[in-house]
Structure 1
């Protein structure tokens, strides 16, 4: 029941400090730089330097989470049945995002943190309707989509949404920035090859990668990551450290295998069987 639907953990791709995080080259020399300690005085940095330093800070935090988890457990092989499970997880991740981001925007605005308020309000708009893409994908797989997401709630997705909700409702909702950045940064690790691999597993005439495409290297998340880095680069050093720590916490959740065993295809099929459409794979 783990997080594998969130990221292909065997091919994590982002590169902190020029070193891919899924290689052995990530050593103690990277760990020696604590989050935020690489900041230089803002007046001494160009815009490009500030952007690069900010991304390095955030990606190091995510990389550190990767190495903190360092699990040898691997989820079951992807199958059409398990893809429906992952789509249900994507739905539950997408569904509350516009509402929670609007709530965060109001929280930031109430204390006159304009750039954060504008960023959160934009996120609320950008993420609207993505849950519907997941429902369309599930329907294309031959199931009654709304019924599926009512009964299939992957624990990994629930844990992430609970964390996101708590972040938004904290006295300072800035941790939601790290949560959002981490999700989009990991999403763009999934490119055309990954999407094609999923599509090759699915039945003919199935259009069930709409939500995945939006949250991938071929979707809008690439630009969203850049926009978020630019916003974070304009925050105070203390705020940037807080965001990087939030990235670490969110990445821990995404990289950690489930405490319990992974759900089996048979168990998923038993839930899905009564929810099939009469005309499958429309």
Structure 2
């Protein structure tokens, strides 16, 4: 996975309808989500076949984007310095999500698309405060968090946020559902093994994986994927197809390496030099 934040490119294999995560100790298989799902934002019962076909449609779109990119470029190895860069990306991806989802909710409600409006309202609630986790992680790394996110806005994160914002502002904001599903579906590829591998790279005693954990398989993210899947399965065929196309576009952005060279640790260190805290409270 060529983007150098959220997940280690070397640790993921994508196959139809399943995602294999390699860890230092074992290989974990994320099986397709169960059809036995109860979601509060849409009580309509969805038959198993429709749910299964919807899951395959969306996951196949993400997989197609993976194979469309298939770049040989790999990001530099993760270091503590580069982890701060990734945390800044986390912050920017989380910060505007509640506001954008609330905007989507309003637009869906005005169009009397109640299941979509309820879904967007739920997403706004679920994502509230996740940006603060990223700030706490950055501070734990020994930096003035607000100053860091002001100075660092990784291009890959900006491209994703631009796509998300444009989706919400479109005449039909439904593409934001595909963006959200893609982010969360890829998030549940991140297991405890990868999280621990990050923690081992950090200085002893430093806790700086709060935001990563909140967007991984060890959090409520698995349930969020299931809930979104059931909501989408209850939409029309045309709406599901539109969401699948958005999954593909969002995944292309996630998987594509930067057009320019990857930023170096030295460049990141130069930007962070003046942002160090005199006292660090992990």
TM-score strictly above 0.5: yes
Mark the CA change 1:94 to 1:166 in structure 2 (over 3 Å): closer, same or farther: same
Hey, what does 2:200 align to over in structure 1? 200
Contact 1:187 1:221 in 2 (8 A): yes
Contact 2:179 2:247 in 1 (8 A): yes
Give the secondary structure class of the aligned counterpart of 1:75.
coil
The answer to whether structure 1 residue 114 and structure 2 residue 102 are counterparts is no
Displacement of 1:220 in angstroms is 1.3
Give the secondary structure class of the aligned counterpart of 1:217.
coil
Find the aligned partners of 1:19 and 1:269 in 2 and give their Cα distance: 34
Find the aligned partners of 2:62 and 2:21 in 1 and give their Cα distance: 9
Contact 1:14 1:189 in 2 (8 A): no
1:212-265 alpha-carbon deviations (Å, 9 max, x no partner): 000000011110000000000000000000000000000000000000000000
In structure 2, runs of 5+ residues without a counterpart are 23-44
Find the aligned partners of 1:123 and 1:222 in 2 and give their Cα distance: 14
Query: Would you tell me which structure has more strand in proportion to its own residues?
Result: 2
Q: Note the 1:22-171 alignment, pairs <5 A.
A: 47-171=47-171
Structure 1 residue ranges (4+ consecutive) displaced by more than 2 angstroms after TM superposition: 6-22
Find the aligned partners of 2:114 and 2:13 in 1 and give their Cα distance: 33
1:20-50 alpha-carbon deviations (Å, 9 max, x no partner): 699xxxxxxxxxxxxxxxxxxxxxx972222
Contact 1:54 1:232 in 2 (8 A): yes
Hey, what does 2:251 align to over in structure 1? 251
The answer to whether structure 1 residue 191 and structure 2 residue 191 are counterparts is yes
Find the aligned partners of 1:205 and 1:6 in 2 and give their Cα distance: 22
Aligned positions, number? 259
Contact 1:21 1:63 in 2 (8 A): no
Hey, what does 1:32 align to over in structure 2? none
Contact 1:135 1:146 in 2 (8 A): yes
Find the aligned partners of 1:66 and 1:147 in 2 and give their Cα distance: 34
Displacement of 1:207 in angstroms is 0.7
Displacement of 1:129 in angstroms is 0.1
Displacement of 1:16 in angstroms is 2.2
In structure 1, runs of 5+ residues without a counterpart are 23-44
Contact 1:12 1:186 in 2 (8 A): no
Contact 1:175 1:246 in 2 (8 A): yes
Give the secondary structure class of the aligned counterpart of 2:139.
helix
